[in-house]
Amino acid sequence: MPLSIGQPQTTSFAKRAFHVFKAWMKQPTQVATICPSSPFLMENIADRDCVRNASSVVELGPGAGGTTLALLAQMRPDGRLLAIEKTDAFREALDDIADPRFTPHIGDATDLITLLEQHQFGRPDVIVSGVPFSAIPPAVAKNLVQAIHQVLKPGGEFIAYQVRSDVERFARPLFGPAETEKIAINIPPLTVFTWRKIQSPSMTRDIA
Ligand SMILES: C[S@@+](CC[C@H](N)C(=O)[O-])C[C@H]1O[C@@H](n2cnc3c(N)ncnc32)[C@H](O)[C@@H]1O
């Protein structure tokens, strides 16, 4: 199902663009974009069966919330979305998203396991990440991908939209090869990587 333009959008594109530009001026490497995600990227990430069927989704690096709204538009009425954003400048934009399914958290994605416990979130069905894996130290990136793999439900999906392909290097040993799709109409153009976790439930630590 394509994204419905009629869905309530609590934050306009112009307002999100303002938040993104302001945040990028202060922390360009961390924010990693000067423009909110395009509708093509939002649709690619959210218009998926794994999102529609998920009871819980975690978003890492929601920024001003464009991808967040796209995910919420597709998710079940009883689904839950926890979004973890490091840049405090996005707090207001995320707080503007008035949806009972949504929990914003200003913090570091690298604390994923602790934050899931703190929010009593259990294991997510889907993890979406805009966190720029190429801009964080390799050891930290490796640990983050390991945490993502550890907490995802077996059969769950990890979706990462990235300008560079560094994430593949960290994810391949755990998840195997990715499905990739280029999104040319986005500033900057990027690639969406998708992995499905194939693992016996007994091999993952129970964090719920
Ligand atoms: C490409 S932008 C996300 C764009 C956004 N989803 C949108 O729809 O416009 C990447 C985001 O990751 C955030 N980020 C970077 N490092 C992070 C970290 N360690 N933990 C959480 N968020 C992080 C940045 O602040 C930025 O908001």
| Ordered per-residue pLDDT tens for the chain, 208 residues | 444 433 444 568 888 888 888 888 888 887 878 888 999 999 999 999 999 999 999 999 999 999 999 999 999 999 999 999 999 999 999 999 999 999 999 999 999 999 999 999 999 999 999 999 999 999 999 999 999 999 999 999 999 999 999 999 999 999 999 999 999 999 999 999 999 999 565 554 444 3
- Three-class DSSP category at 180: strand
Q: Which CATH class is domain 35-197?
A: alpha beta
Cβ of 63 less than 6 Å from ligand 1: yes
Cβ of 64 less than 6 Å from ligand 1: yes
Q: In the chain, what's the furthest Cα-to-Cα distance?
A: 47
Ligand 1 centre and the CA of 62: distance in Å? Answer: 5
Kindly state the percentage of the chain with pLDDT values over 90: 76
Q: What is the pLDDT of residue 147?
A: 98
Question: Please, are residues 119 and 57 in contact by the beta-carbon 8 Å criterion?
Answer: no
Distance in angstroms (rounded) separating the CA atoms of residues 6 and 9? 8
Q: What is the pLDDT of residue 207?
A: 41
Distance in angstroms (rounded) separating the CA atoms of residues 149 and 167? 13
Ligand 1 centre and the CA of 31: distance in Å? Answer: 6
Question: Please, are residues 194 and 167 in contact by the beta-carbon 8 Å criterion?
Answer: no
Sign of CA dihedral 32, 35, 40, 43: positive
Protein residue with its CA nearest to atom 5 in ligand 1: 63
- Three-class DSSP category at 10: coil
What is the residue extent of each domain of the chain? 35-197
Q: What is the pLDDT of residue 6?
A: 38
